[in-house]
Amino acid sequence: MSDRVALITGGARGIGRAIALDLAAGHWSVAIAYRTSEKEAAETAQAIVERGGKSLALRGDVSDPAAARQLVQEVERTWGRLDALINCAGPYHRVNLLEETPEGWAEMFANNLHPAFFLALAAVPGMKARKYGRIITFSMANADQMVAQPEVTAHYIAKSGLLILTRTLAKLLAPHGITVNAVSPGFIDSGSAPPGELAGMAKKVPAGYIGEVSDTVAAVRFLLSDEARYVNGTNIHVSGGWGI
């Protein structure tokens, strides 16, 4: 797995950062794409090098198809290839559906669903030419249940749409040696929620505890591995049984 190249959106912080550092330990070249987290991106890029990888920190708004294309092109210019595209960027906001604005509604799709499509369009030609590629999208653990979500409606619909996009790309790209899979975390201690809130969430998890970032990283590591070459179009729940 050494000497491979990955592009991770949302790679400056949280789960994306943890994936980047894990790949660095395997001597991957890792490009992290960020929009506003410049300081965190610089720190993560340095940490990648310290762990044995090569790094590239790229600012870009992946909701813009031209910017998404430029990110992929920059990675390919720098390292000559792109083996893995990992879509970790996925902001959300909580607001009752009846109080949502048209701008807020559109923002959830622009930043969660559309980038995975734009980046795939840019990355696939090179992967097809090399007859190898791994694409991973991040959904959420109950997105395949189609349940009501009054406070995060647009975000939830976008995450459900990602599952359809994942399966469709998997079917189209399988003949070219490319796998496309989804990882769907539940409650993960990624630093985005205060400890008190996490403690309350644990009561909803059948396993009885909140997951660690390393649990999600392990799922990604498997999907990127050669052992997962025949795993395509799947959705791995990393949730301790929540959301199923």
Given the residues 132, 156, 209, 230, the one annotated as active site: 156
| Rounded Cα gap, residues 72 and 77, in angstroms | 9
Annotated catalytic, 156?
A: yes
The residue type found at 142 is N
Note every long-range contact of 97-101, with CB atoms under 8 Å and residues 24 or more positions apart, other chains counting. 97/150, 97/151, 97/153, 100/153, 100/154
Task: Report whether 201 contacts 190 (CB < 8 A).
Answer: no
Contacts of 174 (CB under 8 A, 6+ apart): 232, 233
Q: Which residues are catalytic?
A: 156
